[in-house]
Amino acid sequence: MMETTVELRNVPGTGAAMGWAGGHTVVIDRHEGKAGGSGLGFSGAQMLALAMGGCFCNSLRFAAESLGIEVDTLEVTVTVKLGGEPLVTQEAHLSVHCTRKDGGDTAELVARAEQTCMVANTLQRGVKVTVGHRAA
């Protein structure tokens, strides 16, 4: 089994958090005026949508490489629908526009990416989540 870990810490003087993995960082915050949010970064729903879309892009690139296909254009728009209490994502839709450098059909690439996208597959199957608390 593979494992990956990310770290998050509060950004001093704000209600935002900075997350990182290796040399990559991202800022997470609530929308301005929501629970002390300043709009300095992505909301949870936006992070989830970015994770789905980003993973799908990576999966499509892996599929293209395995098939010896050069991708020209790749655009993915992710829409998530939220509801309930507590608020959860109830539905997600990915809209994909992809072209090949040789002008060929991209349906197989999109289908393979859909089959192998780790984030989308995880969400569809569910994942056990545990929370540990470390006292001060």
22 and 58 share one domain: no
Q: Domain for residue 136, yes or no?
A: no
Q: Domain for residue 132, yes or no?
A: no
How many separate domains does the chain show?
Answer: 2
15 and 56 share one domain: no
94-to-26, 37, 42, 98 alpha-carbon distances in Å: 22, 27, 18, 12
Q: What 8-state DSSP symbol labels residue 69?
A: -
Which of 119, 125, 116, 96 shows the shortest CA–CA distance to 49?
A: 119
Query: What is residue 54's predicted lDDT score, i.e. its pLDDT?
Result: 98
9 and 63 share one domain: no
CATH classification at residue 55:
3.30.300.20
Query: What is residue 61's predicted lDDT score, i.e. its pLDDT?
Result: 98
Query: What is residue 34's predicted lDDT score, i.e. its pLDDT?
Result: 85
Most distant pair of Cα atoms in the chain: their distance = 59
**3-class SS at 25?**
strand
Q: Domain for residue 133, yes or no?
A: no
100 and 52 share one domain: yes
38 and 48 share one domain: no
Domain extent for 21:
1-42
- pTM for the predicted model, two decimal places: 0.92
What residue ranges of the chain have pLDDT lower than 50?
none
47 and 113 share one domain: yes
Q: Decide if 110 contacts 64 (C-beta within 8 A).
A: no
Q: Domain for residue 19, yes or no?
A: yes
Q: Decide if 110 contacts 59 (C-beta within 8 A).
A: no
Query: What is residue 35's predicted lDDT score, i.e. its pLDDT?
Result: 85
